[in-house]
Amino acid sequence: MIPPVASRFVAGESVPAALDHVRAANEDGVAVILNLLGEHYDDPADARADTDAYLGLLDDIADSGLDACVSVKPSQIGMDVSTDLFEEHYREIIARAHEVDAFVWCDMEDADTTDATLDAFESIAADYPWSVGQCVQSNLRRTADDLDRLIDVPGKLRLVKGAYDEPSSIAYTDKARVDEAYRDDLTTLFERRDRGIAVGSHDPEMISLADRLARDRGADYEVQMLMGVREDAQHDLAAQGVDVHRYAPYGDKWLSYFYRRVRERKENLTFAARAVLGQ
């Protein structure tokens, strides 16, 4: 059983529990992006097992009629085994999503995997237009060029600041510089796209910027936030008519994910301490 302190960030261990979370979020006007916890598999059997799990999850979402989609990690579906296995599994998942009228996001992991991930996204989106979306990270110095390459690809683009600790030779490491890059990249998306823009941020400044850009350009967009982080803001934005999506992981590998959440933001750590102390 997931303890209450961790259940703020994880939508249960099973698919039924995850779908219950989706149902509750939908009642508040929030859509959900479900991610099965697991990553960095070097055994093809593990990558195959999670690929099969995602295929089943897509069927379950389609059958439920809930407002949800899924997000996969490259290293979860074969990237650490081979790029060919990753793309084979990725393509199989998108084909199923296309078949059942569902949607799949692909997360971005460390910079060593960026080229292979974007290559696969570009190829698969061409075959299954608007059934797939790709995350890109503004802290990478290359991202402006990547956006130029991807701007006309028929798939959604999720812009995040980036959480991986990359060397300064390939990434911006100063917070102010990352924020500047994020603003520039967000502006590029709204100037050159009228759909398929996802603002992956909890930063009120960036969300306000997205709203202004969308109004100026007449573009459609969505805001994506993590489960357990600024959920009051998620509800407020949804009530204002913003298309809000909550990234909600589930599964039995919740412990390491929970510890990452409470380490990365002091507000999450404070919440966890209070929960443990029963306050």
Report the catalytic residues.
Answer: 107, 158
> Which residue, chain included where needed, has tokens 């085994």?
81
In 3-state terms, what secondary structure has residue 162? coil
Phi, psi for residue 109 in degrees, rounded to 5: -105, -145
**Biggest distance spanned by C-alpha atoms of the chain:** 52
- What's the N-to-C CA distance of the chain in angstroms? 21
The contacts of residue 239 (CB under 8 Å, 6+ apart) are 29
Q: Give dist(CA 238, CA 240) in Å, integer.
A: 5
Phi, psi for residue 199 in degrees, rounded to 5: -95, 100
Identify whether the C-beta of residue 186 lies closer than 8 Å to the C-beta of residue 213: yes
Q: Taking the CB of residue 119, how many other CB atoms lie within 10 A of it?
A: 12
The H or E element spanning position 52 is: helix 44-64
User: In whole angstroms, how large is the CA radius of gyration of the chain?
Assistant: 18
Q: Give dist(CA 106, CA 16) in Å, integer.
A: 22
Identify whether the C-beta of residue 100 lies closer than 8 Å to the C-beta of residue 58: yes
Q: Give dist(CA 231, CA 226) in Å, integer.
A: 8
**Strand pairing of 197-200 and 221-226?**
parallel
Total residues found in the chain within this entry: 279
Q: Token digits for 167?
A: 């060397």
